[in-house]
A = this chain, B = another copy of it.
Amino acid sequence: MNIEAIDGGHVTSPQGFSAGAVAASIKKRAGALDLGLLVSDRPAAAAGVFTQNLVRSAPVQVSEKRAHSGRLQGVVVNSGNANAPFDQKGIDDAELMAGMAARHAGCDEQLMAVASTGVTGVYLPLDKVEAGIPRIALSPNGGPDFALAIMTTDTKPKSYAVAVKEGATTVFTVGGCAKGSGMIHPNMATMLSYITTDANVDATLLKDLTKEVADTTYNMMTVDGDTSRSDTLLIFANGAAGGPAITRGSAQAETLRQALLAVGTELSRMLARDGEGASHLITVEVVNGPTLAHARNVARTVALSSLVKTAVTGNDPNWGRILVAAGRSGSPVEVAKTSVRLQDVLIFDTGRVIEFDETDVSKRMEEDEVRIQIDLGLGTHNATAWGCDLTTDYVHINADYRT
């Protein structure tokens, strides 16, 4: 079976999913889509990964409880207000919002997840939600609008889908969308991502795959240290593509795994590239780590380092900063065994300072994607992390929005 990217694919590309969105005036900007609904035409196997932050918004608490059952049929999302006053009224409002969406979609209330993103500390304008939901027209082509409605300060919507094919026949499809962090007064950064598939897969297998997708893609993506633990990822599998249930250990399970990872990887790269103020996507590939956990940890630490990020901003092939960030990661690093490549050029060789054409490498760093490759020489485990550079625009976006 082949996994092929679908040109213009989105979250409703898989069969049996529809979505829609309206401008409900929750966002300040007039006419902006800010209330979206994504539903399956039947209850779907579902699994979620939610923020590890102990300070959690009301919708996260409600959705996590509902996803725990392994079955969901849809999710309603508003942008412009995070419903995060951190009290019981927040929980009540999230449940009311989900209830309205369930009635509009004609599904069981307990199968409707809910999310809110935007301003923190202000109660949800429930009247606007109540007026908006009945106006949402659900359609199999509604994915792009849904992706727009969940955006906050994202500069572009993020959608991606792949078809799993046997020859010319599509066996099943995986689609997804995501939003990055948004900063309005006073706020809470949130990443939201929804992945759908019409594959026929039971909830237990889906749960394991969801965790793997989160660990391998979303949890390896960082814009600043503050957002990395506020992620919410929901995966819906409604089985609309038909066929027998995909069982653990089968070839189809492996293909589904790869298709989910492909969608998760691409959305994570889009999220990192559109990090606030970013001018470069930074890809950090760690190879030959002693364990997977250590390889991931080194990759993430380097991708999050302010000094590495600003070196990328300045197109500076600074192996010293890369090495020092790796060295403080808490994972084993032996300088004498470590090599560093930047844009595929070797700039530090197993502990030795080497000559390289700095002007040339600096020039290559002007590309949209800057690839940092670290060979730890300590084992066989590899990991990739995605981040973005740190520019003065990040500071402006987060410091100056009052003015």
Contact = CB atoms under 8 A, between A and B. Distances in A.
Contact of A313 (B326, B327, B336, B399): B399
A229 interface: yes
A226 B54 contact: no
A55 B399 contact: no
Interface in A352-379: 352-353, 362
Contact of A86 (B84, B314, B335): B335
Contact of A52 (B186, B328, B390): B328
Contacts of A307: 183, 189, 224, 226, 398
A398 B321 CA distance: 11
A310 B392 contact: no
A134 to B, nearest CB: 30
Contact of A304 (B225, B315, B390): B225
Nearest to A362: B402
A306 B225 contact: yes
Contact of A352 (B87, B186, B310, B320): B87
B316 A55 contact: no
Nearest to A335: B86
Contacts of A121: 319-320, 353
Contacts of A395: 310, 313, 390-392, 394-395
A316 B391 contact: no
A53 interface: yes
A305 interface: yes
A181 to B, nearest CB: 9
B187 A320 contact: yes
A120 B322 CA distance: 12
A183 to B, nearest CB: 8
Contacts of A224: 306-307
A193 interface: no
A328 B398 contact: no
A32 interface: no
A175 B402 CA distance: 43
A385 to B, nearest CB: 15
Nearest to A183: B307
Contact of A399 (B226, B305, B314): B314
Interface string A284-323: 0000000000000000000011110011011111111101
Interface in A31-84: 52-56, 84
Contacts of A315: 402
A321 B186 contact: yes
Contacts of A310: 394-395, 398-399
Contacts of A183: 307
B324 A55 contact: yes
Interface in A86-142: 86-87, 120-122
A152 interface: no
Interface of A: 52-56, 84-87, 120-122, 183, 185-189, 224-226, 229-230, 304-307, 310-311, 313-321, 323-328, 332-336, 351-353, 362, 389-392, 394-396, 398-403
Given A53-B327, A186-B311, 14 more contacts: A55-B335, A87-B351, A87-B352, A121-B320, A121-B353, A183-B307, A225-B305, A226-B321, A226-B324, A229-B328, A310-B394, A311-B398, A314-B399, A391-B399
